[in-house]
């Protein structure tokens, strides 16, 4: 059987601007997968980092990506470019 990936227990961080954020860090081989979930909105982002990267660094990176995702959430997607042809 294959090795079961190890995971840190999820931790909750509360910031003044962002509110509560849940981090889940799972190590798979020599890579760690870090998920950050904004509790109030349910927006989730995921990053991957080397397994030997510091926990604080990967949490900071995931938090910044989450802030970026939340800031872009309010913006509407631009309309698709006009192309010749017919949509069927």
Task: Please give the C-alpha separations between residue 8 and each of 24, 27, 64, 70, in angstroms, as whole numbers.
Answer: 7, 8, 20, 25
Pair of tokens at residue 80 = 């698709």
Of 60, 45, 48, which Cα lies nearest the Cα of 13?
60
pLDDT of 38 strictly over 80: yes
pLDDT tens, residue by residue, 53-81: 999 999 999 999 999 998 887 666 666 67
Q: Whole-prediction pTM value?
A: 0.69
Averaged pLDDT, 7-29: 75
Q: Phi and psi at residue 69, in whole multiples of 5°? A: -65, -40
Which pLDDT score, from 0 to 100, does residue 4 have? Answer: 43
Q: What CA–CA distance (Å, rounded) separates 50 from 11? A: 20
Residues contacting 18, CB < 8 A, separation 6+: 38, 63, 66, 67, 70
Predicted confidence band at 12 (pLDDT cuts at 50, 70, 90)? low
């Amino acid at each position: 059987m294959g090795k079961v990936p190890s995971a840190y227990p999820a931790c909750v961080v509360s910031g003044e601007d962002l509110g509560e954020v849940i981090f889940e860090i799972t190590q798979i081989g020599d890579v760690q997968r870090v998920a950050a979930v904004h509790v109030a909105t349910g927006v989730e982002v995921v990053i991957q980092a080397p397994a030997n990267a510091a926990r604080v660094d990967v949490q900071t990176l995931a938090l910044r990506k989450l802030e970026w995702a939340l800031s872009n959430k309010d913006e509407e997607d631009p309309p698709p470019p006009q192309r010749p042809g017919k949509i069927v």
